[in-house]
Chains A and B, each alone.
Chain A
């Protein structure tokens, strides 16, 4: 399995937590843009298309077309 490691070290100054957070955020943005390139359209997973299961909440097959509404609670945010 391919794996790529990019290492950058900032030295010589003391960074504040805010500066470190900003750098981390920017790196995350760059990685995301780099991986996705121009392909940023939403994808429809087979798990939902073929089996009616959404990552946020299971969706019954007969209401598959209303998936977006059904996953609004989402994993970790649902009510009991």
Chain B
């Protein structure tokens, strides 16, 4: 399947975990411990009228070279999404205070950029609204 790191922009599907709620643009309320995603949980959230992959953040196993975001060869590449996020926001220093994020120990983005990844993380939304 994959390596041992965790993707912080995973799909909402059984097997992934809910780790954050997008309170507003650029603001994520992190939930610890993460909540395992089940069909029932997705149903509950859907019934609430929440656009699930827009207002909620899910984690899952990093798919590495099987992911469209992967840059490089299998086993030796990196996640291009967080690289680009830091670049476009010109983030050069890490977040001063880190939230109690439930995936930091295995987070793919944190592994690549440490605290700087945490500064960019709230800016990422998996599925923007349709225009």
Contacts and interface: CB of A to CB of B under 8 A. Distances in A.
A29 B123 contact: no
Interface residues of A, number: 45
A48 B125 contact: yes
A12 interface: no
Interface string B23-49: 111100101000110101100110011
Interface in A14-38: 21-22, 24-29, 31-33, 35-36
Contacts of A41: 51, 129
B106 to A, nearest CB: 14
B98 A1 contact: yes
A3 B100 contact: yes
Contact of A76 (B63, B125, B128): B63
Interface string B50-92: 1101111000111101111100000000001100110011000
Given A76-B62, A78-B69, A25 B35 contact: yes
Interface in B86-126: 88-89, 97-100, 123-126
A45 B21 contact: no
B38 A54 contact: no
Nearest to B39: A25
Given A25-B44, A29-B44, A78-B67, A45 B50 contact: no
In the A-B complex, the 10 residue pairs with the closest CB atoms: A78-B68, A42-B129, A55-B126, A1-B97, A51-B88, A28-B35, A25-B41, A29-B44, A55-B124, A42-B54
Given A42-B54, A47-B85, A68-B127, 20 more contacts: A1-B97, A25-B35, A32-B48, A40-B48, A40-B50, A40-B55, A42-B51, A42-B129, A43-B129, A45-B125, A46-B26, A47-B123, A48-B128, A55-B127, A58-B81, A65-B131, A74-B127, A76-B61, A77-B63, A78-B68
7 contacts: A1-B99, A32-B55, A47-B85, A50-B88, A55-B125, A55-B127, A75-B63
